[in-house]
Amino acid sequence: IRRLQPELSKIDGITLYMQPVQDLTVEDIVSRTQYQYTLADPDPNELASFTSRFVRGMKNIPELADVASDLQTHGLQTAIHFDRQTAMRVGITTQAIDDALYDAYGQRQVSTLFTQLSQYHVILEVLPQFRVAPRNLRNLFIKSTTGTVSVPLSTFTTNENSSTPILISHIGQFPATTVSFNLAPGAALGTAVERIQQLQKQVPAPPAMQTSFQGTAQAFVASLTNEPLLILAALVTVYIVLGVLYESYIHPITILSTLPSAGVGALLALIICREQLTVVAIIGIVLLIGIVKKNAIMMIDFALEAERREGKTPYDSIFQASLLRFRPIMMTTMAALLGAVPLAFGTGVGSELRRPLGITIIGGLLLSQLLTLYTTPVIYLFFDESASRFARWRHRHRGEAEASVHPPAPAPQTEAQP
């Protein structure tokens, strides 16, 4: 698409919009581009005016490309205004005018023809040559109720031609327009969303105007709000489970200390590959929480068993765990890393959706693997020593507190015998 778009834009007379079709999508509407921003207002005229101003402002944002809206105001309509008094003088009622216009242009079904094989609807309408322009309304006659004479419609009506939208979309029962846009090369979706929100505050909007992102952009905005809470809830859950498993308040933190390196590695991989932090990439980062922490779990679990059952020192236990668990750690990490290679480098339909997921997994695993093999034993020893110091400090202060509450009894005094 990036290769074809510049060449196709050179063709005069057409504007071509292309976007990749994904196997898995969150869009509920079909638009010209990948991202959508909707505007809704009860007044169609205010909606059309604001949409035009807003689209002009979005075209000036450097992070956006292919900005367009589905607002089409190039249609024509004819409003018929009739003089009630003149119509009553010639014996024409409002119902007669409505019936005549509906018979001529409303495609009224007046009968049904039944055959042995099928049935056919009989539609009442004027000939096609009398439906091409508003001037054909002068050929429409309405029968008067005061006699047998038919009165021309133009006798008591005037026509007003104006422009009108060809298509009116609705969101929540309100007229709405959809502004579609793509991202400029190298632009991030988060930056584009911030610029659009800033523009929405700068452009004066009607009081009843409602704006919102749709599709992928809406999912991204929602993820920015909910994702920190989801990650925090996942970390708290992991901490509680590991604390119950190892009967310790300290060593679950040792295991969770491997996660920052995975997140940094995933973000660096996205920057190097010039990919955006999309919803799929965030899913990959959440997936890393479960993959990366198994390195520390394999070492910490073995070290605690050796320390508690065999009576080894923390240094000896973590040293032995690092030696014995090195091969399983490398095998499981390489299996997960190689499994993400097809996602990152695959081609074909939907590859644009899967590529950020593979890149985040590969980047997070590479950096975390290089760091956690060295940092996990150090953090284990640091926290173990800190826990020992805290236990000694608490024991010493508890002894001093008990001594102050229960002072030692004075030694008995003996009287000298003569």
pLDDT for position 106 = 86
pLDDT tens profile 131-177 = 888 888 888 888 888 767 788 888 888 888 887 777 778 887 888 88
Shared domain for 368 and 382, answered yes or no, is yes
Give residue 93's domain range: 77-164
Tokens representing residue 223 in the block: 């993820």
Would you say residue 407 lies in a domain? Answer: no
Shared domain for 9 and 149, answered yes or no, is no
Shared domain for 211 and 155, answered yes or no, is no
User: Is 417 a residue whose pLDDT tops 70?
Assistant: no
Please report which confidence band the pLDDT of residue 401 belongs to, taking 50, 70 and 90 as the band edges.
Answer: low
pLDDT for position 145 = 80
**Of 4-8, 15-19, 27-31, 223-227, the least confident:** 27-31
Identity of the residue numbered 15: T
Shared domain for 277 and 379, answered yes or no, is yes
Would you say residue 281 lies in a domain? Answer: yes
CATH number at residue 103: 3.30.2090.10
Would you say residue 40 lies in a domain? Answer: yes
User: Is 286 a residue whose pLDDT tops 50?
Assistant: yes
Mean pLDDT of 174-192: 83
pLDDT for position 22 = 58
CATH number at residue 59: 3.30.70.1440
Shared domain for 258 and 335, answered yes or no, is yes
Would you say residue 410 lies in a domain? Answer: no
Would you say residue 267 lies in a domain? Answer: yes
Shared domain for 51 and 135, answered yes or no, is no
Shared domain for 280 and 386, answered yes or no, is yes
Contact, 36 vs 29, CB < 8 A?
Answer: yes
Q: How would you classify the pairing of strands 174-183 and 64-69?
A: antiparallel
Mean pLDDT of 315-325: 86
**Nearest of 253, 258, 248 to residue 304 by alpha carbon:** 248
Considering only residues 156 and 21, tell me which one the structure prediction assigns the higher pLDDT: 156
Shared domain for 354 and 263, answered yes or no, is yes
**Nearest of 173, 238, 197, 259 to residue 64 by alpha carbon:** 197
End-of-domain residue from the set 132, 164, 196: 164
**Nearest of 299, 295, 290 to residue 318 by alpha carbon:** 299
- Entry pTM: 0.55
Q: How far from chain centre, in Å, is Cα 338?
A: 29
Shared domain for 67 and 208, answered yes or no, is yes
End-of-domain residue from the set 141, 164, 187: 164
Mean pLDDT of 295-324: 84
In DSSP terms, which residues pair with 65 in a beta bridge?
182
- Count how many domains the chain has: 3
Identity of the residue numbered 112: T
Work out the number of other CB atoms within 10 angstroms of the CB of residue 318. Answer: 26
Tokens representing residue 32 in the block: 């010209």
Tokens representing residue 375 in the block: 């940092």
CA distance 90 to 52: 46
Tokens representing residue 67 in the block: 């900005």
Mean pLDDT of 298-318: 84
pLDDT tens profile 234-278 = 788 888 888 888 788 888 888 888 888 888 888 898 888 888 777
- 3-class SS letters over the chain: CCCHHHHHCCCCCCCCCCCCCCCCCCCCCCCCCCEEEEEECCCHHHHHHHHHHHHHHHHCCCCEEEEEECCCCCEEEEEEEECHHHHHHCCCCHHHHHHHHHHHHCCEEEEEEECCCCEEEEEECCCHHHCCCHHHHHHCEEECCCCCCEEEHHHCEEEEEEEECCCCEEECCEEEEEEEEEECCCCCHHHHHHHHHHHHHHCCCCCCCEEEEEHHHHHHHHHHHHHHHHHHHHHHHHHHHHHHHHCCCCHHHHHHCCHHHHHHHHHHHHHHCCCCCCHHHHHHHHHHHHHHHHHHHHHHHHHHHHHHHCCCCHHHHHHHHHHHCHHHHHHHHHHHHHHHHHHHHCCCCCHHHHHHHHHHHHHHHHHHHHHHHHHHHHHHHHHHHHHHHHHHHHHHHHHHHHHHHCCCCCCCCCCCCC
Mean per-residue pLDDT over the chain, rounded:
81
Considering only residues 336 and 30, tell me which one the structure prediction assigns the higher pLDDT: 336
The CA dihedral of 291, 293, 294, 300, to the nearest 10 degrees, is 180
**Nearest of 143, 132, 137, 140 to residue 160 by alpha carbon:** 137
Contact, 230 vs 286, CB < 8 A?
Answer: yes
134 φψ region: left (φ > 0), alpha (ψ -120 to 50), beta (else): alpha
**Nearest of 31, 28, 29 to residue 18 by alpha carbon:** 31
Crossing angle of the two packed helices 279-309 and 215-246, in degrees rounded to 10: 0
Tokens representing residue 303 in the block: 């070290």
Would you say residue 92 lies in a domain? Answer: yes
User: Is 57 a residue whose pLDDT tops 80?
Assistant: yes
**Nearest of 39, 72, 68 to residue 56 by alpha carbon:** 68
Mean pLDDT of 304-316: 83
Would you say residue 417 lies in a domain? Answer: no
Considering only residues 216 and 120, tell me which one the structure prediction assigns the higher pLDDT: 120
CATH number at residue 367: 1.20.1640.10
Shared domain for 261 and 156, answered yes or no, is no
Shared domain for 342 and 322, answered yes or no, is yes
186 φψ region: left (φ > 0), alpha (ψ -120 to 50), beta (else): left
pLDDT for position 117 = 86
Q: How would you classify the pairing of strands 169-171 and 174-183?
A: antiparallel
Mean pLDDT of 104-122: 89
Shared domain for 46 and 174, answered yes or no, is yes
pLDDT for position 28 = 58
Would you say residue 231 lies in a domain? Answer: no
Tokens representing residue 102 in the block: 């509906």
Please report which confidence band the pLDDT of residue 402 belongs to, taking 50, 70 and 90 as the band edges.
Answer: low
pLDDT for position 418 = 47
